[in-house]
């Protein structure tokens, strides 16, 4: 499936990154307007905003912010999945986050969050991490360091939630719509959710920085050979309760959350768009791109899911492609139909076997029986066996109906007789009219 991973998947990922960056530009302009808010002096507010937006320094840091945003989507493109992991115990859930590759992803999100928050702080007017001062040659700007630490905390929480809430799992929509209609209805919900997450994170970040912020701050001072200004220190409760600093953190955190979550939404929208696979290969180069090959793909689960999605669209809306499914090869065999039916029935059998195993696990791990015996009822194994028997009968009827439809599509007519009598089942007639 190199044609998909190196062609379609990369093109869709690149398009999602580009559109995320394009839509983030107006968000950055709006962020600067809110970060430089001065309602008591509106003309000064607008003047400072325009001078900040049109400056070369803002352009550089806006590009750096978009670079960090693009890297988050690159991380998602390498870690996304279409098979939902199921954890049976709480220990397995914890281990699912503490795996070394996933810890590396969480650390990458923390680093990107710190970089994004630093760029936003520069756009808000907190210039230079260190600057000369009267009391020292180079002094640490703790307000800017506070912003960067808050962004790293946002990235750390986001990386943990990314795996705990299974945000790496892509869900295919039940109704296929244009990308614009799938995105425009989620803008307000993403902003509201980002604001809620930022407020919840600040509730924990302030106490953590007050108690433990001494260590990373002194580490940065020693590493860069800086000093700490006596007049600008965030070591007391009164200095941390600065309303302007809190507002700046709130707006910056909301902007980061909106950019990441909405970028994730754009990426999922692009990757879950239907792909029309050719039913029959017209040229020799299309043999590995057919519907049958996509349904049997085990190396790329995303290709297999897109193949089943295309089969669903084919069965509902395309009469000509349905006829191609029952076409015969040079040996007179319905090769495409055999592959489609085998994969569909294998999928149903796998689901039924997993349900059987789940029912057995629940029945064996159930609570102990009380002194009074419960009323008699059908056991899970017997109900599952009954369902499997019904599934076999339904599959036989389905095979007859689809085979009858295949005969109609190929122009031939045949009949099914049993015990000397011809059977016209209503299910067969319905399937014939649907596929014929």
| Tokens, residue 190 | 């993403």
| Cβ pair 134, 123 in contact under 8 A | no
Q: What is the pLDDT of residue 395?
A: 46
Given this model, what pLDDT does residue 418 score? 39
Residues 274, 309 contacting (CB under 8 angstroms): yes
Nearest to 146 by CA among 126, 165, 169: 126
Q: Could you give the angle at the alpha carbon of 158 between the alpha carbons of 66 and 120, nearest 5°?
A: 35
Phi-psi category of residue 332: left, alpha or beta, with phi > 0 → left and psi -120 to 50 → alpha: left
Integer distance in angstroms from the first to the last C-alpha of the chain? Answer: 32
Nearest to 55 by CA among 67, 47, 44, 66: 47
Measured CA to CA, the distance from residue 16 to residue 18 in angstroms comes to 6
Does pTM surpass 0.85?
no
Tell me the β-bridge partners of 139. Answer: 131, 227
Contact 303, 294 (CB under 8 A): yes
Backbone angles phi, psi at 203, to 5 degrees: -65, -30
CB 74 within 8 A of CB 17: yes
Reduced to 3 states (helix: H, G, I; strand: E, B; else coil), residue 373 is coil
Evaluate whether 20 touches 73 at the Cβ level (below 8 Å): yes
Q: For residue 35, what pLDDT is reported? A: 86
| pLDDT, position 22 | 94
What is the reported pLDDT for 180? 80
Check residue 112 and give its pLDDT.
95
Mapped onto helix, strand or coil, the DSSP state of residue 131 is strand
Q: For the chain, list residues with pLDDT below 70.
A: 1-3, 5, 127-138, 229-232, 285, 360-436
Tokens, residue 359: 């029912």
Residues 382 and 113: their CA atoms lie apart, in Å, by 54
pLDDT reported for residue 135: 53
Residue 241: its pLDDT value, please?
83
Asked if residues 314 and 321 have their Cβ atoms less than 8 Å apart, the reply is yes
Q: What DSSP element (H or E) covers 263?
A: helix 243-271
For 160-189, the pLDDT digits (tens) are: 998 888 888 888 877 777 878 778 878 889
Tokens describing residue 395: 């599959």
Tokens of 288: 């590995």
pLDDT digits (tens, 9 = 90+) for 339-376: 889 988 998 998 898 888 877 655 444 444 444 444 44
Residue 230 has a pLDDT of 62
């Amino acid at each position: 499936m190199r044609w998909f991973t190196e062609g379609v998947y990369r093109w869709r990922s690149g398009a999602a990154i580009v559109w995320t960056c394009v839509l983030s530009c107006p968000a950055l302009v709006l962020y600067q307007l809110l970060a430089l808010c001065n309602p008591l002096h509106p003309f000064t507010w607008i003047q400072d905003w325009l001078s900040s937006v049109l400056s070369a320094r803002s352009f550089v840091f806006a590009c750096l912010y978009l670079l960090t945003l693009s890297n988050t989507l690159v991380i998602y493109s390498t870690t996304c999945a279409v098979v939902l992991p199921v954890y049976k115990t709480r220990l397995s859930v914890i281990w699912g986050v503490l795996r070394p590759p996933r810890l590396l992803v969480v650390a990458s999100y923390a680093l990107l969050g710190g970089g994004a928050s630093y760029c936003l702080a520069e756009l808000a007017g907190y210039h230079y991490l260190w600057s000369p001062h009267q009391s020292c040659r180079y002094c640490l700007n703790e307000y800017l360091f506070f912003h960067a630490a808050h962004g790293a905390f946002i990235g750390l929480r986001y990386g943990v939630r990314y795996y705990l809430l299974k945000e790496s799992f892509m869900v295919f929509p039940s109704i296929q719509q244009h990308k614009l209609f799938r995105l425009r209805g989620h803008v307000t919900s993403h902003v509201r959710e980002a604001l809620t997450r930022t407020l919840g994170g600040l509730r924990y970040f302030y106490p953590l920085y007050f108690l433990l912020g001494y260590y990373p701050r002194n580490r940065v001072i020693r590493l860069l050979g800086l000093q700490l200004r006596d007049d600008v220190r965030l070591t007391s409760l009164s200095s941390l309760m600065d309303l302007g600093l809190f507002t700046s953190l709130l707006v910056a955190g909301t902007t980061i959350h909106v950019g990441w979550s909405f970028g994730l939404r754009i990426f999922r929208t692009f990757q879950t768009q239907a792909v029309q696979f050719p039913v029959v290969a017209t040229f020799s180069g299309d043999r590995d791109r057919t519907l049958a090959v996509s349904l049997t793909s085990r190396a790329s689960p995303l290709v297999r899911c897109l193949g089943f999605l295309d089969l669903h669209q084919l069965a509902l809306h395309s009469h000509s492609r349905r006829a191609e499914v029952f076409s015969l090869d040079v040996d007179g065999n319905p090769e495409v139909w055999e592959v489609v039916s085998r994969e569909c029935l294998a999928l149903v059998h796998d689901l039924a076997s997993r349900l059987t195993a789940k029912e057995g696990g629940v029945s064996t791990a159930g609570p102990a029986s009380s002194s009074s015996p419960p009323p008699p009822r059908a056991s899970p194994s017997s109900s599952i066996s009954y369902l499997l028997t019904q599934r076999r009968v339904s599959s036989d009827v389905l095979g007859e109906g689809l085979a009858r439809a295949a005969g109609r599509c190929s122009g031939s007519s045949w009949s099914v007789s049993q015990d000397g009598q011809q059977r016209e089942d209503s299910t067969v007639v319905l399937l014939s009219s649907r596929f014929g």
